[in-house]
Structure 1
Amino acid sequence: MAGENALNYEMIAAAAARLEGHARVTPLLNSPFLDAIAGRRVWVKAECLQVTGSFKFRGGWSAVSALEGPGGVLAYSSGNHAQGIAAAAQAHGREAVIVMPADAPAVKVANTKAYGAEVVPYDRATGDREVIGAELAEARGLTLIRPYDEPLVIAGQGTCGLEIARQAAEVGVSDADVITCCGGGGLTSGIALALEQAAPGLRVRTAEPVGFDDVARSLEAGNIERNKSLSGSICDAIVTPQPGDLTFPIMQRLCGPGFAVSEEEVLRAMALAFLRLKIVIEPGGAVALASALFQGDGIKGEDVVVVASGGNVDAGIFTDAIKTYGGSA
């Protein structure tokens, strides 16, 4: 199991030490209004309030802060990993080059550039970001930091799991599902490894958009399956070709069955999070909350923890969510 050979709990603890004083300890939020909809207590880990607006800052800082010697870094991302790497590189005085899909949300492109990174666009439907990234890294002497299949990145995301374990214990939750928004599996596998030791009664489940649920299908099949399309979802932050080679063995061992939610459920969850918790969640960051609120039959127990993984949403999509679903929230 390559993923577990490349990563262990001690790496997560070391990443937490490097992140201390740089990443925010994000709150675990609750609302009786959301509890009533879900039929159980819903605890929302608000990573949308993290530095750069998503959990990706954890992995970005973990990886960049561990680099030795001079030189810049390169990443490929639809936006959240891009911002995490760009911010970490800027703080460490390193050049950052980010390969981003041409249809990435404008706010994510703008924020990435604002952190001083150079953005190289590509066509998500016809281009291979891994090939483009590898070629650029070699040509320009940059260190490639992958968004999820990278042990130091996974370790950084695992620090979110350490916080969940501690915060859940503080509110008396020791036996519950923890639903994570899942693309390639870096956040999911990192949290799962952290909870395995820090809070073994908390079981990780994945959440994805319908039609892009490669992780759920892979977990059910017992082998890696690909998405048929890499575009066409409002949940851009978690649309990836397939689970990672490092992350899938970890998820296969530690995660329960995954959820797949509709775009309507995602938009409703975004509106509810804003109205009841006063937080802004992007579509890809809302799939976990949508699963807890609208697919509760697949959850056991009196509590569920969900990760609101990011808040970098274009104003138009967010406004539409509030206008369409805010009145019924």
Structure 2
Amino acid sequence: MLSLEMIQDAKKVLEGVATVTPLFQSKCINPDADVYIKCENMQVTGSFKLRGAYYKTVNLTEEEAKHGVVACSAGNHAQGVALAAQKKNIPAVICMPAGAPLAKVEATRSYGAEVVLVPGVYDDAAAKATELKNEKGYTFLHPFNDDYVMAGQGTVGLEILEHLEDVEVVLVPIGGGGLISGVACAIKSLKPSCKVYGVQAAGAPSMYNSIRDGKIETLEEVSTVADGIAVKQPGDKTFEMCQKYVDGIVTVTEEEIASGILLLLEKHKMVAEGAGAVSVAAAMHNKGDIKGKKTVCVISGGNVDINILDRIIDKGLQVNGRLTKFSLTMIDKPGQLTRLLQIIAEEGANIFNVTHDRMVRSVAVGKCVVDVTVETRNKEHCEELIKMLVSKGYDVK
């Protein structure tokens, strides 16, 4: 069973393998709390997952290692297992959801593992990995529901306490629960007064629902940009650890996740994937009891899919009122569009895109629909612009 002694042993084993990642203060996440960031996005392989994967691999028996290993992952555990197996000269097969970010798939292959892409989400990849285990005799390395894996992840908690002894709150992303199980066990064992809160995406609240209802529950589906924590069902071991050590679990929306990613990019020049940014999103939007408290946000990973990063940024800009799209109907006469654009410019908004359409069926002859996307300073500036347009007689939607 997971214990502080196991976590402390994992810390020794990981010396020279895993990086002791930075922990620094952020002045821009929440003005009402003293917030710090634990940067596991700067870990080897770009995620905390190496810690648990390596500690588990080191503790395989000679017989287990001889058969090779199989694992299932949305991407980060895949890379951790692949690198750990490479270091120990153990063959590795990794089952990943077919929709996993290409960057994670290619990175896993680069560490020498065989990748099997499985239609569906993490749980479907898990079923395939179990099938291969039974068929080929591989040793299965679970991504979260394993004492050694949880112990490896718990070294993040030890590092937080070493670098910030007076920490009062720690916010930790939750997918299956391996990271928060280890972190909470370490922190609660050494500093019981420190609160540990888990953070899940609202579109994948498997642990949140399970803890709320006092039993392990399985979601019918998950939908979130935070692919690394899109897990339908927590493990029995992680569920038990969360019941024992975690003070509460909160959820964040897709818009809040996007705003967290955007803040880290813009203010700290730091890339975080959706799963990694949920803790920052929670702190930004006052999820959990953090007001006036020294709070650490664990950024669990930075392996974001570059192909969707621009969409995430756009969503974050929209949430913050800095990118706004609106439609209006106006008379289709020469000079009218110029007048509209002049008003927008005078209000200090930057025009991003304009579409002029006179072929809309529901619009009367002699009128047209104009769709405008503008960049504004903030929500207040956006509201001022809309108010000005309405005062000039425009029907803004």
Task: Identify whether the pair has TM-score above 0.5, normalized to the shorter chain.
Answer: yes
1:111 aligns to 2:107 (yes or no): yes
SS of 2:164's equivalent?
A: helix
Match of 2:214 in 1: 222
Cα 1:127–1:157 change in 2 (3 A) is closer
1:164 aligns to 2:160 (yes or no): yes
Match of 2:27 in 1: 32
1:145 aligns to 2:137 (yes or no): no
Match of 1:72 in 2: 68
Hey, what's the Cα distance between the residues in 1 that align with 2:250 and 2:40?
20
* Root-mean-square deviation over aligned CA pairs: 1.8
Hey, what's the Cα distance between the residues in 2 that align with 1:311 and 1:128?
24
1:282 aligns to 2:278 (yes or no): no
Q: Which runs of 5+ in 2 are unaligned?
A: 323-376, 379-397
Report which of the two has the higher share of strand: 2
After TM superposition, where is structure 1 displaced by more than 4 Å over at least 4 residues in a row?
A: 326-329
Hey, what's the Cα distance between the residues in 1 that align with 2:245 and 2:123?
33
Mapped contact 1:34–1:276 kept (Cα < 8 A):
no
Match of 2:54 in 1: 61
Match of 1:259 in 2: 250
**1:269 CA drift (Å):** 0.5
Which one of the candidate residues 126, 130, 135 is aligned to 2:131? Answer: 135
**1:132 CA drift (Å):** 1.9
**1:29 CA drift (Å):** 1.9
Which one of the candidate residues 233, 246, 268 is aligned to 2:259? Answer: 268
Judge which range, 140-149 or 46-55, deviates more: 140-149
Hey, what's the Cα distance between the residues in 2 that align with 1:261 and 1:18?
35
**1:127 CA drift (Å):** 7.1
1:325 aligns to 2:327 (yes or no): no
Q: TM-score, normalised by structure 1?
A: 0.91
1:102 aligns to 2:98 (yes or no): yes
1:182 aligns to 2:174 (yes or no): yes
Mapped contact 2:53–2:81 kept (Cα < 8 A):
yes
1:192 aligns to 2:184 (yes or no): yes
Hey, what's the Cα distance between the residues in 2 that align with 1:272 and 1:123?
33
Cα 1:219–1:75 change in 2 (3 A) is same
State the identity %.
40
Mapped contact 1:161–1:192 kept (Cα < 8 A):
yes
**1:279 CA drift (Å):** 1.4
Mapped contact 1:58–1:156 kept (Cα < 8 A):
yes
Q: TM-score, normalised by structure 2?
A: 0.76
Match of 1:314 in 2: 305
**1:321 CA drift (Å):** 3.1
1:8 aligns to 2:3 (yes or no): yes
Which one of the candidate residues 86, 96, 113 is aligned to 2:82? Answer: 86
Hey, what's the Cα distance between the residues in 2 that align with 1:249 and 1:16?
23
1:238 aligns to 2:233 (yes or no): no
Q: Any idea what the Cα deviations from partners look like across 1:280-309, whole Å, max 9, x if unmatched?
A: 100111111100111346434422111100
Judge which range, 136-145 or 156-165, deviates more: 136-145
Letter in 1 for 2:228: A
Judge which range, 55-64 or 25-34, deviates more: 25-34
Report which of the two has the higher share of helix: 1
Question: Larger relative contact order (C-alpha < 8 A, sep ≥ 6)?
Answer: 1
Q: Which runs of 5+ in 1 are unaligned?
A: 1-5
Hey, what's the Cα distance between the residues in 2 that align with 1:184 and 1:127?
10
**1:143 CA drift (Å):** 1.1
Which one of the candidate residues 34, 39, 54 is aligned to 1:41? Answer: 34
Mapped contact 2:71–2:78 kept (Cα < 8 A):
yes
Match of 2:381 in 1: none
SS of 1:246's equivalent?
A: helix
